[in-house]
């Protein structure tokens, strides 16, 4: 259900009328798979993964990994319905069991009644813990690690985020307001297709001739050396297991918890990529999430775009980033503060402020300041040009 309030014109009245619109959106789209981290707390979790994973798949190592991950989704969903079911209904059921056990304890007072009460309380605490972990994963609150039961807090965070993320209406490219879910979705597709469609660029061969070769053969060999199983494992376990998943729904918690079963296939797949294999779409696909830049966004340019990658893609990117970090200080000029460890981007802010301040105090010099629009600069890099530079 969505509720919107519109402020109508006063006209000749001294009252300010409000129009309250209540509508119910029926979302018939199938729910995508999401791995729930509390599944790993069960002792029968790994056997379920092992039974599904041992079934053979054909294709390249990357295709085999994608096939097994896809097949495992159905297996764990069936297992979840049998073992956990409705976790919220389970909490209500355990609360009723505790209530009945307390009544028996008050009327009976026997040792058997006391034991049954303690057992019922233990089952309730376990159900509450599952519910808390569920809401904590959805809330993605990083700063709260330990403490009392915080289910209500996590639930309020998720509820606030859900309400804030709903787009009730938006302006299209003609400046007209559109409100239906289908029209808003179509406008979003048109906007981001235009934003991310590659534009033709003129040949820059003359310019590229003036870019000097900086890295030595030894440094290039360091970047291209064959991956080791330990390097891959270290990268997997160093990632945040609680971060939001990509389109395949798997979190880092799954990979670390099931590494004893899936590790060999993950290593083979990543090594094949470093040997020249092309990543399949099942790995490179991303989910686009929109976060409002302002309180009341009116068009899609008022949203900050975040791409949620699949975990395998994140690990590959992290391995490449770790290797590049060893040579970045050499190939990035000292004036560039970003991307290099121990360099602060705030230094550039302070430098720009000092330059503007000094320009105002020096009327004898004719200075010029250029303000460049860098909106979506790193999301719109020309891959063809980047390949030519490399």
Supply φ then ψ for residue 107, to 5 degrees: -85, -30
Burial (0-12, 13-18, 19+ Cβ within 10 Å), 193: exposed
What does the domain layout of the chain look like in residue ranges?
Answer: 3-50+82-165, 169-198, 215-331
**Is the pLDDT at 106 greater than 90, yes or no?**
no
Write down the pTM of the prediction. Answer: 0.73
Percentage with pLDDT > 70 across the chain: 83
Average pLDDT over residues 61-76: 95
Q: Where are the beta strands (DSSP E) in 198-354?
A: 286-292, 303-309
**Is the pLDDT at 332 greater than 60, yes or no?**
yes
Round to whole Å and give the CA distance between 136 and 242: 9
pLDDT at 63: 95
pLDDT at 105: 82
Average pLDDT over residues 58-76: 94
Read off the pLDDT band of 148 (50, 70, 90).
very low
On whether the CB atoms of residues 246 and 311 are closer than 8 A, the answer is yes
**Is the pLDDT at 184 greater than 60, yes or no?**
yes
Q: Report pLDDT digits (tens) over 124-147.
A: 888 777 777 776 666 555 545 544
Round to whole Å and give the CA distance between 385 and 390: 9
In the DSSP assignment, the letter for residue 9 is: -
**Is the pLDDT at 10 greater than 80, yes or no?**
no
Average pLDDT over residues 160-172: 74
pLDDT at 123: 83
pLDDT at 373: 65
pLDDT at 341: 79
Q: Report pLDDT digits (tens) over 247-292.
A: 999 999 999 999 999 999 999 999 999 888 999 999 999 888 888 8
């Amino acid at each position: 259900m969505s509720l919107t309030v519109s402020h109508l014109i006063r006209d000749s009245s001294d009252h300010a009328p409000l129009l309250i619109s209540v509508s119910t959106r029926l979302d018939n789209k199938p729910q995508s798979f999401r791995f729930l981290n509390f599944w790993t707390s069960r002792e029968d979790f790994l056997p379920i993964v092992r039974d599904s994973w041992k079934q053979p798949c054909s294709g390249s190592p990357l295709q085999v990994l994608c096939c097994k991950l896809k097949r495992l989704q159905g297996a764990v969903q069936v297992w979840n319905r049998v073992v956990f079911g409705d976790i919220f209904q389970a909490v209500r059921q355990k609360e009723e069991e505790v209530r009945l056990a307390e009544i028996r304890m008050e009327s009976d007072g026997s040792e058997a009644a006391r034991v049954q009460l303690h057992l019922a309380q233990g089952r309730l605490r376990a159900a509450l813990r599952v519910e808390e972990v569920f809401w904590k994963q959805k809330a993605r609150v990083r700063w709260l690690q330990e403490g009392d039961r915080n289910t209500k807090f996590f639930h309020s965070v998720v509820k606030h985020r859900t309400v804030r993320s709903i787009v009730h209406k938006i302006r299209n490219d003609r400046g007209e307001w559109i409100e239906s879910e289908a029209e808003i979705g179509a406008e979003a597709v048109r906007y981001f297709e235009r934003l991310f469609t590659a534009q033709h660029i003129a040949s820059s061969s003359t310019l590229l001739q003036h870019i000097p070769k900086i890295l030595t053969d030894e440094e290039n060999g360091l970047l291209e050396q064959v991956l080791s199983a330990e390097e891959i494992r270290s990268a997997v376990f160093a990632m945040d297991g609680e971060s939001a998943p990509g389109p395949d729904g798997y979190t880092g918690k799954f990979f670390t918890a099931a590494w004893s079963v899936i590790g060999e296939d993950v290593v083979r797949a990543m090594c094949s990529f470093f040997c020249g294999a092309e990543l399949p779409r099942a790995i490179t696909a991303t989910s686009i999430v929109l976060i409002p830049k302002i309180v009341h966004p009116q068009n899609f340019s008022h949203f900050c775009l975040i791409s949620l990658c699949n975990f395998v893609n994140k690990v590959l990117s992290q391995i490449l980033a770790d290797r590049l970090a060893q040579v970045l200080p050499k190939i990035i000029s000292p004036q560039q503060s970003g991307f290099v460890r121990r360099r602060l981007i705030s230094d550039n802010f302070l430098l720009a402020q000092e330059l503007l301040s000094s320009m105002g105090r020096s009327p004898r010099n004719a200075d010029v300041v250029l303000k460049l629009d860098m909106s979506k600069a790193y999301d719109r890099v020309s891959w063809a040009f980047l390949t030519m530079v490399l």
